[in-house]
Every structure is written in C-alpha cells, then in structure tokens.
Structure 1
C-alpha cells in the first residue's frame, strides 16, 4: 500500500497502531526539513543528524502515548528544543573545562594548560564510559541534556528513585575515578 498520499493525521493513527510503514513514511516525508532546521542552527552535519535521529527514535518509542496534533509543527519545535539543549549542554561542558583551566592557569602556561585540559577531558570521557550503560545514559540525560529527574524517569520508564540512584552512583564513581585529576587541578 502506498502511504505517500495519506495525511499526517492518518499516518499518526497508523503509527499508534504499530504500523512501521507509516513511521517510515513520516520519516521520509520530514527527515530532510527537520535536518535542515538543525543544520542551519548548528552548521554541523553529524550533530544535526544525531539530533534528528533522536527525535524520530523518541517518536517511535513513544508512539502509543505521544500526543501530536500537527506533525510538522511538532517536529520543528522538537528540533528547536533539541538544538537549544545541545547548545546549552555544550556551553556548560566548555565552562566547566574552562574553569579547570583557569584554576590551574596560575601555575601553568600555554601548552601545559592545553595538555592538562586535554588529559582531563579524556579522563572525564573514560570515567563516563566506565559507568554501567543505564547509569551512563541517566547521567548524560541529567548532566548533558539537562533533563529533570521526572523527565528522565518518564523517558526511560523507570521510577524517579531509580533515576536518583543512577545519578548518585555515577557521581560517586566519577569522583573516585577523577580524584587524582581533581587533586592536580586544585
């Protein structure tokens, strides 16, 4: 059956009924304009693709409960919000790393600062990657995507207590793993 002639409303109804062909039609119909909206704001093909994929993945995962009245508007708003969240998380990450550089700048000059910054960035990524998958995912949603505990619980279909537990565990593990780096920085 050719779904190209169907309206967005019909496609959304079919999507709620687990019709993967309806999802594929929505994806092929709207992927490019949503990608272009992200690309215009970020000027990065890879990041724009990643954000668009996240939106469509969320639509598929939440197809039974998501309430979409006007698909095109929903997608444009969703990508705008994802871009804003991405920029905010990037700025927070950069500010944190800049703070580390600034606090060590009195003792270090130029290249040495850059080396410390690079080592700390690598150590932070290694520490995050050592976390259990679920804990790592919760941590990234919390600290990089700036989602609230309630939003994370809703997105992952887990309790708020479970989210708090994962965040607490990740912070303990990161503190322990990064202890030597933080002692050097201070």
Structure 2
C-alpha cells in the first residue's frame, strides 16, 4: 500500500508543479491534518499551528514551478519543523518552549551529543507509549510512523474520527509530560553539578 501511496503522491506532485489546482487540493487534503498535529505538538498552540501550516501551503503554491521536491512527505514535515522553530525563535517563549529548544541543542556543533539527545527523546517517546492503552499506541503509531490521516485511521480501525483525535490528544499529552519531566530532571542535575 505504501508503494502505491508513494506513486500517487509523485503523480499528484507532478501535476501540482504544472499548476493543477485539483492535485494541489488533493495533496492538501492528504497532508494538512498530520502537518497540523505535528505543528501543534511543537508550538503547543492550535491557532499558531494552523497559521504555520497554512503559510507552508501558500508558499508551496506560490513557488511550485521552482520547487525541486523529491520526497514530498519528508519535505513538508521538514517545512513544518522549520516553520515552528522560526515561530518559537521570533516570539516570546514560555518555559515549556524553552525546555524543548534547549533539549534540541540547535546551536551546538557536537553531533554525538545531538545524536544522544535524539536517542534519549526517542526512548522517552517509546516509554510514554508503553504507558498508554494498546489502542492509543496503535493510533499514535499509525499517525506518526505511517503518516496516516485521522480519517484513514478511523476507517481502518472502525472507530470515529473524534475517537482518533481524542486518543492522539492523550498520547501527545503523555509524551509531552514525560519529555518535560526528563528535561526538568536533566536541568536540575546540570544545576546541581554546576554548583558543586
């Protein structure tokens, strides 16, 4: 199925680059929701997340002729990440945003340490998932690892779209909470060591 999905996305992308509005609309329908969920999980604000994703889609349309996109899905999710980081950089940050940015160590050149941070974050996410119900885990994995939309997940599992949204909300809340706990523990440890 993923092979067919990839071919469909490539065909839609080719048509979109030619200015086909129907192809653009179809790509939008396929990817808007997962992009929004990803943005919301980073900026922690629904309206801001919507604005970031909308801006990405406007830029895609305006620059379509000059874009050299090979993997559309990877491209748009990277755009979401950069859009969120740009927003966080340019606006007043709350304590949670600062912790997230500090944990990413964006300015440091030490790749080994960044790799460690990534592995630690992935470990925390996996640990968070084990604390959730099997259905909640399944929905999160379908959404995040297979990039399935809420509608696709609902159809596949025979549940309502609202149930999918609720389960995603529970999963994201649990992951954010565990990431915050890990970050505050690390900050406390660094502070303690610095004061020795």
TM-score (norm 2): 0.43
